[in-house]
């Protein structure tokens, strides 16, 4: 399978999760080891699926042991409430921007 086909399947998993098609999204997540070679990327993508499915505990567990700015930003997002979320900080962590300068939040 070529990389664009793999990317399309990962995007389909995200779309399925966003549309609450849990069975479909999780089926594709089970195939992530075949689709996403890099373990860190695979775990970040899986955490996004779990978060979209409102499975915050699983989303956070997917990031265990990852200490990248992206993982830290997602962890911060997952434990924040809508009222307390600092969107500039989250965006800055996820994109690697300085003080949110790469964000259009």
Q: DSSP per residue over 26-38, as a string?
A: HHHHHTHHHH--S
Read off the pLDDT band of 100 (50, 70, 90). Answer: very low
Say what the pTM is: 0.79
Residues 51-91: pLDDT tens digits?
Answer: 999 999 999 999 999 999 889 989 988 887 666 656 666 56
Contact 35, 62 (CB under 8 A): no
């Amino acid at each position: 399978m070529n990389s664009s086909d793999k990317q399309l399947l990962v995007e389909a998993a995200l779309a399925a999760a966003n549309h609450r098609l849990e069975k479909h999204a999780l089926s594709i997540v089970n195939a992530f080891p075949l689709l996403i070679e890099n373990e860190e990327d695979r775990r970040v993508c899986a955490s996004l699926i779990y978060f979209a499915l409102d499975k915050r505990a699983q989303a956070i567990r997917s990031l265990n042991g990852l200490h990248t700015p992206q993982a830290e930003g997602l962890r911060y997002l997952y434990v924040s409430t809508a009222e307390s979320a600092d969107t500039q900080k989250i965006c800055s962590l996820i994109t690697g921007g300085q003080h949110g300068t790469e964000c259009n939040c």
